[in-house]
Amino acid sequence: MTHLLEPFPEPSERMLAALVDLAILARGGDAAEAIMATGEILPRLWDITSIADPDLRLDTWQWLDAFVIWLNTQHAWYSADHTPACWPEHPGLVRELGTLAAMRYQAGEATSPMALEEWHRYTLPGYLDRTRDQRRACDEKHQPWPGRAAHTRHADGAARRRHLFDEDVDRTPDAEDTLALWRLPVRL
Percent of the chain with pLDDT over 90: 55
Phi, psi of 11 (to 5 degrees): -70, 155
User: What percent helix, strand, coil does the chain show, rounded to 5?
Assistant: 70, 0, 30
Tell me whether residue 65 is in a domain.
yes
Query: Are 131 and 154 contained in the same domain?
Result: no
Query: Same domain, yes or no, for 89 and 34?
Result: yes
**Shared domain check, 158 and 133:** no
Question: The pTM is what?
Answer: 0.77
In a domain, 55, yes or no: yes
CA 29/CA 173 separation, integer angstroms = 45
Same domain, 161 and 130: no
Q: How far apart are CA 12 and CA 101, in angstroms?
A: 14
Q: What tens digit of pLDDT does each residue of 30-59 get?
A: 888 888 888 888 999 999 999 999 999 999
Question: Does residue 166 fall inside a structural domain?
Answer: yes
Q: Are 50 and 44 in contact (CB under 8 A)?
A: yes
117 lies in some domain: yes
Question: Do 32 and 118 share a domain, yes or no?
Answer: yes
Q: Do 162 and 103 lie in a common domain?
A: no
Contact indicator for 98, 45 with CB cutoff of 8 Å: yes
Half-sphere exposure of 78 toward its Cβ, with a 13 Å CA cutoff? 6
Predicted local distance difference test score (pLDDT) of residue 129: 96
Residues 163 and 84 in one domain: no
Identify whether 4 is part of a domain.
no
pLDDT band of 13, cuts 50, 70, 90? very high
Shared domain check, 55 and 81: yes
109 plus 167 within the same structural domain: no
Length of the chain: 188
**pLDDT tens across 58-105, in order?**
999 999 999 999 999 999 888 889 999 999 999 999 999 999 999 999
Domain that holds residue 159: 149-181
CB-based contacts of 124, cutoff 8 Å, min separation 6: 75, 100
